[in-house]
Amino acid sequence: MTTILRRPWWRRAYDDHVPSPVDTAADRQAVRRIARRERTHLAGVLARAFEDDELSRWIYRDHPSRLRWVRSDFRLRLSQHGPDDLSYTTDDLVGAAIWAAPDRWKGHATGQLRAFGAIPRVARNRVRIGEMQRELDRRHPSIPHLYLALLGVTRERRRTGLASALLVPALTLADERGWPAYVEAGSDEAAAFYESAGFSVTGAVQLPTAPVVHLMWREPR
């Protein structure tokens, strides 16, 4: 009883939810939750997935250290959202989907402490990171929703249905609980993918010289 009272409402809502294994079309591997020990490796996989991403190239100005900075940024996000237990991968660790629970889109305080480790990266690129983050935060919906903080699949495994499969457990949960879902798509290709997953564009962030970021929303089914 005490444990239940200590848990926040969103946690109680899905703690007992056991996602059914989702087969990926590629090799029939089941989508499963990310283990803590896999976070560092997956941050590297995700950073590689975003290697050609226009938004990350804009933020980090194609600096030779960009891959390293992006990896540390993604490692941070995995820590911030990991405690929500809504982060998914497959056994071969070639992609991942990182979700935040309702009202948790800014991440957990413990994870935010790790931001100190990112100070040199942030200091060097602080103006662009700050501008973009402020605008995305300002436009972030206030009604409770699941937030897809990060999704990426290694280049060799794209267009095999893997990213779609990675979204299934959280979207199934969202539908069961009546939660909408929200994501920011940093490229037209990503927006096309999210449309295929049932999201619709509700707005856009367009900073001078930056690529358009599409704001996308999915109502529960």
> Could you say whether residue 113 binds ligand COA (CB under 6 A)?
no
CB of residue 125 vs ligand COA: minimum separation in angstroms? 19
C-alpha span between 219 and 200 (Å, rounded): 9
Beta-bridge partners for 203: 215
Question: Would you say 14 or 162 has its CB closer to ligand COA?
Answer: 162
CB of residue 207 vs ligand COA: minimum separation in angstroms? 16
Q: 166, 158, 159: which is closest to 24 by C-alpha? A: 166
Backbone angles phi, psi at 161, to 5 degrees: 90, 5
CB of residue 197 vs ligand COA: minimum separation in angstroms? 7
CB of residue 119 vs ligand COA: minimum separation in angstroms? 25
Question: Would you say 196 or 200 has its CB closer to ligand COA?
Answer: 196
- Closest residue by beta carbon to ligand COA: 163
The C-alpha angle with vertex 94 and arms to 162 and 196, in degrees rounded to 5, equals 25
C-alpha span between 177 and 215 (Å, rounded): 22
Q: 183, 18, 16: which is closest to 98 by C-alpha? A: 183
**Strand segments (E) across the chain:** 22-23, 30-33, 87-90, 95-100, 146-153, 181-185, 200-205, 213-218
**Positive or negative CA dihedral for 20, 24, 43, 133?**
negative
Structure tokens at 212: 């358009």
Structure tokens at 5: 């009272």
Question: Would you say 13 or 54 has its CB closer to ligand COA?
Answer: 54
Tell me, by CB under 6 A, how many residues bind ligand COA: 21
- Residues numbered 53 to 112 that lie near ligand COA (CB under 6 A) are 53
Question: Would you say 47 or 101 has its CB closer to ligand COA?
Answer: 47
Site string for ligand COA, 143-162 (x = CB under 6 A): --------xxx----xxxxx
Question: Would you say 173 or 183 has its CB closer to ligand COA?
Answer: 183
C-alpha span between 147 and 183 (Å, rounded): 6
- Residues numbered 188 to 217 that lie near ligand COA (CB under 6 A) are 189-190, 192-193, 196
* Chain residues that interact with ligand COA, rule: CB under 6 A: 49-50, 53, 151-153, 158-164, 185-187, 189-190, 192-193, 196
